[in-house]
Chain A
Amino acid sequence: MIAVVDYGAGNLGSVVNALEHLGVPHVVTDDPATILGAAGVIFPGVGATADSMRNLRERGLVGVLRAVAEGGRPLFGVCVGQQVLFDTSYEGDPHPCLGILGGEVRRFPDTDDLIVPHMGWNGVTLRRPHPLFAGIPDGTEFYFVHSYYCAPDDEAIVLGETDYGAPFAAAIARGNVMATQFHPEKSGRWGLQLYRNFAHLVADRLTLPEAAVATGRSA
């Protein structure tokens, strides 16, 4: 069972629609025990990082998400769900986020030829193969809506990048922690494929010996 974290994120309904459409077993929950006991966790997000962090704190989920990341169960963040995984966000007053991944969340520069928010379909170039993108052609366009982007300390965690003014991290993966800045639930068939891949990744992991998975940072 995959837990979809319910903390007031605006795209929760769309994520659930996609999982239902694919027939992926899931539960929408803000219960720490359920999230900690799930085989995999989807962490959606729309809105501001500060609001998201406040909502997570109010529900006592900050430690829960860190524990999921450390425990080795597949964790998948979407949009603001990717941003909040990092150390610090510069959206509004600079503030700490979950700190699961090292790096910052920065605003796109306001230049004459760059419209912010970055909204629409843009191509994602993969830096390495990954089961999350299994069967998805390199360079496939996904749907983005955001004004801030993630700048990881460790470039090696960037799984796919997208060019908007400059290349930024459109998808990241470090061991069991995965995330996309784009919205797979709004990205047509390839977006659905990505959720399907995540579901397979969760299911495959269940058949692996626990020790092999816990150390599997190369996943």
Chain B
Amino acid sequence: MLTRRIIPCLDVTGGRVVKGTQFLDLRDAGDPVELAAYYDAEGADELTFYDITASSDDRAIMIETVRRVAKQVFIPLTVGGGVRKVDDIYGLLRAGADKVSVNTAAIANPALITEGATRFGSQCIVLSIDAAATPGGGWEVRTHGGRRGTGIDAVEWARRGVALGAGEIVLNSIDADGTREGYELGLTAAVSRVVRVPVVASGGAGSLAHLGDALEAGAHAVLAASIFHFRQHTVREAKGFLAARGFPMRAVAPVASLDAAATEVARVGD
């Protein structure tokens, strides 16, 4: 059975993971490769790297970061942040990203989704949507970290994005983000009902129960940052919890066998 996915999200600037990660047993908690390897060993199903500066200088550094991670970590990698042109998508895929997420640029230029999907396949084009609840009910697409409204209905934008070629939708709730009070379940459910591609819930996870709530609402995957970065819970615990709640989850190898495998792989590499 196809399993549900847990996706830790790492914010990157200047080739370093930022915004507070608490990994006391890592040599360098800001090193993307080391963090990616850690989450891989913990059983993360996928990793998202988000370029939070996305200046043109940073673009080259981000590509180099993706290349370094892809050489060491063998699970799917999604990269987003500041993707404006098809060439940006190409550069990241070539560096080793499996999927690239587009957000603001796709609002101004929806053809970006279609061009990316036509050239590289829908499976590698993710439409990331920042949305906030509106007083009249429903959700509006927002940009610039939620500060700027667009007047576009988020559910309709998701539907249209898929029609344009997006192979996955990531829903970031501006209202829930950072609250740790749970994902915006109404939005997750509303979008899951109208699109036939995987929906990833993002923003608001504060407990393991929240992850389960989002999956119950229809999400195929949950994206989370702080509950994992600050060691409130490990990915391993999250998987055990969600499996007990009845969701199909990918088995995580026990720690001892991971150590044995690492030794064995190292020996092959000699």
Residues of A within 8 A of B (CB): 10, 13-14, 17-18, 20-24, 46-47, 115-123, 137, 139-141, 143, 145, 163-164, 185-189, 191-193, 196
Across-interface contacts of B250 in A (CB, < 8 A): 121, 141
List 13 extra interface pairs beyond A14-B74, A20-B71, A116-B196, CB under 8 A: A10-B93, A10-B121, A23-B269, A117-B167, A119-B123, A119-B167, A120-B220, A121-B45, A123-B3, A164-B2, A186-B76, A188-B40, A196-B268
In the complex, what residues of A have CB within 8 A of residue B93's CB?
10
Bound: A22/B76 CA distance, A: 18
Determine the distance from Cα of A191 to Cα of B76 in the docked complex, in whole angstroms: 12
Instruction: Tell whether, in the assembled complex, residue A189 and residue B258 are in contact, meaning their CB atoms are under 8 Å apart.
Output: yes
Is B2 a contact of A122 with CB atoms below 8 Å?
yes
Q: How many residues of B contact A (CB 8 A)?
A: 36
What DSSP secondary structure best describes chain A's contact surface? mixed
CA gap between A214 and B43 in the complex, in Å: 40
Q: Quick check: is B87 within 8 A (CB to CB) of the other chain?
A: no
By the criterion CB–CB under 8 Å, are B265 and A192 in contact?
A: yes
- For residue A191, which residues in chain B have a CB less than 8 angstroms away from its CB? 74
Over the window 108-132 of chain B, the binary record of Cβ atoms lying under 8 Å from chain A Cβ atoms (1 yes, 0 no) is: 0000000000001111000000000
Would A46 and B121 be within 8 Å (CB), given that A115-B198, A189-B258 are in contact?
A: yes
Chain B residues, Cβ within 8 Å of A119: 123, 167-168, 198
21 A-B pairs whose Cβ atoms sit less than 8 Å apart in the complex: A13-B94, A14-B74, A14-B96, A17-B70, A17-B71, A22-B269, A23-B270, A24-B268, A46-B121, A116-B196, A117-B122, A117-B123, A120-B3, A121-B45, A122-B3, A123-B1, A137-B251, A140-B251, A188-B75, A192-B74, A192-B265
Q: Is B253 an interface residue (CB 8 A)?
A: yes
- Chain A: which residue is nearest B73 at the CB level? A188
Is B64 part of the binding interface, using a Cβ–Cβ cutoff of 8 Å?
no
Q: Given that A21-B74, A115-B197 are known contacts, is A121 also in contact with B3, CB under 8 Å in the complex?
A: yes
- Contact pick for A121, options B2, B71, B167, B270, CB 8 Å: B2
Chain B residue contacts of A46, Cβ below 8 A: 121
Question: Most chain-B Cβ atoms within 10 A of its Cβ — which of A119, A163, A187, A193?
Answer: A119
Set of chain B residues within 8 Å of A118, measured between Cβ atoms: 2
Contact A47 B45 (CB under 8 A): no
CB atoms of B74 and A145 under 8 A apart: no
Per-position binary interface string of chain B over residues 243-270, scored 1 when its CB falls under 8 Å from any chain A CB and 0 otherwise: 0000000110100001001000100111
Nearest residue (CB) in A for B45 is A121
Question: In the complex, what distance in Å separates the CA atom of A192 from the CA atom of B251?
Answer: 16
**Which of B2, B198, B268 lies in contact with A22, CB distance below 8 A?**
B268
Which residue on A lies nearest to B70, using beta carbons?
Answer: A17
> Is B142 located at the chain interface by the 8 A CB criterion?
no
Contact A188 B2 (CB under 8 A): no
In the complex formed, the residue of B with least CB distance to A114 is: B196
**Among all A-B residue pairs, the 9 with the closest Cβ atoms:** A23-B269, A141-B250, A121-B250, A121-B3, A145-B123, A122-B2, A17-B71, A189-B261, A120-B2
When the two chains form their complex, are residues A143 and B76 in contact, meaning their CB atoms are under 8 A apart?
yes
CA distance A137 to B269 in the complex (A): 23
Residues of B within 8 A of A21 (CB): 71-72, 74, 265, 269
With both chains docked as a complex, state the minimum distance between the C-beta of B259 and any C-beta of chain A, in angstroms.
11
Task: Kindly provide the distance from the CB of B100 to the nearest chain A CB, expressed in whole angstroms.
Answer: 13
List of B residues within 8 angstroms of A22 by Cβ: 265, 268-269
> Does B5 count as interface, using CB distance less than 8 angstroms?
yes
Chain B residues with CB below 8 A from A192, complex form: 74, 265
Task: Give CA–CA (A119, B122) in the complex, Å.
Answer: 11
Contact with A along B7-34 (1 / 0, CB 8 A): 0000000000000000000000000000
Which residues in B have their C-beta under 8 angstroms from that of A23?
268-270
Chain A residues closer than 8 Å to B196, beta-carbon distance: 115-116
Which B residues are CB-close (under 8 A) to A143?
75-76
Given the complex, which residues of A lie within 8 Å of B45, measured CB to CB? 120-121
Q: Bound state CA distance, A7 and B1, in angstroms?
A: 33
Q: A13 touching B70 by the CB < 8 A rule?
A: yes
Contact of B98 with A by CB under 8 A = yes
| A10-B96 in contact given A115-B198, A119-B198, A120-B220 (Cβ < 8 Å) | no
**Chain B 192-227 residues near chain A, CB threshold 8 A:** 196-198, 220-221
Expressed in whole angstroms, the minimum distance between the Cβ of B191 and any Cβ of chain A is 14
Residues of B contacting A117 in the complex (Cβ-Cβ under 8 angstroms)? 122-123, 167
